[in-house]
Amino acid sequence: MSDFLTDVEAAIPGLRRYALALALTRDADSADDLVQDCLERALTRRRLWRPTGTVKSWLFTILHNQFISDRRRLNRRAGDLPMDDALQQSAPDNPMASVALAETARAIEALSLEQRTTLLLVAVEGLTYAEAATATGVPVGTIMSRLSRARRALADKMEAGPRLARVK
């Protein structure tokens, strides 16, 4: 049990990052609520976890499914999930890096939900294709295709996006 709890604790920053990231919600309070619901479900349903994969991928599956369930429920009630327009909470002290981060965040936000979630799970959180497929409930080939399209679209958006003139 202690290994399980250690693995759960180690996954918390990634879960929060994923929930807060552009893929799910940009509202810190909603992200914290989503992660808390995920952790509560994982701990109360610990007996359902099977060591066929990692605890981390299981937690991302719970988080993703919780988000989808919450979104469906809200869509039935209110039309769509409210999104916070603020950029990510932390930015480097370097102003040019902050601009680049903002451009990247806008480019990622412009991706479809499926592409954003796949990109974040694989490229940011380091899940394998199989783990990302399990977390999102789609075949591995779909993950590979979505990731390829997301990377291509992101590169295109970054190439076409606004650029600052270089000051000499």
- Over residues 24-54, the pLDDT tens digits come to 556 788 888 889 999 999 999 888 887 777 8
Q: Is residue 1 very low, low, confident or very high in pLDDT (cuts 50, 70, 90)?
A: low
Q: Is the pLDDT of residue 163 over 60?
A: no
Q: Is residue 162 very low, low, confident or very high in pLDDT (cuts 50, 70, 90)?
A: low
pTM of model > 0.85: no
Residue carrying the six token digits 């994923």: 18
Note the pLDDT of residue 168: 39
Tokens standing for residue 144: 């590979």
Instruction: Give the mean pLDDT of the chain.
Output: 78
* Domain membership of residue 41 as a residue range: 1-81
Asked if 77 and 129 sit in the same domain, the reply is no
Number of domains in the chain: 2
For residue 101, being part of any structural domain is answered with yes
Asked if 21 and 57 sit in the same domain, the reply is yes
Asked if 64 and 114 sit in the same domain, the reply is no
Integer Cα distance of 3 and 52 in angstroms: 15
Integer Cα distance of 21 and 78 in angstroms: 22
Mean pLDDT, to the nearest integer, of 46-71? Answer: 85
Asked if 110 and 152 sit in the same domain, the reply is yes
Tens digit of each residue's pLDDT (9 = 90 or more) over 79-101 = 443 333 333 444 455 666 666 76
Q: Is residue 165 very low, low, confident or very high in pLDDT (cuts 50, 70, 90)?
A: very low
Which bin fits 79, alpha (ψ -120 to 50), beta or left (φ > 0)?
Answer: left
Q: Is residue 145 very low, low, confident or very high in pLDDT (cuts 50, 70, 90)?
A: very high
Tokens standing for residue 84: 């916070």
CATH number at residue 124: 1.10.10.10
> What is the 3-state composition of the chain as percent helix, strand, coil, each rounded to the nearest 5?
70, 0, 30
CATH number at residue 60: 1.10.1740.10
Note the pLDDT of residue 84: 34
Asked if 73 and 9 sit in the same domain, the reply is yes
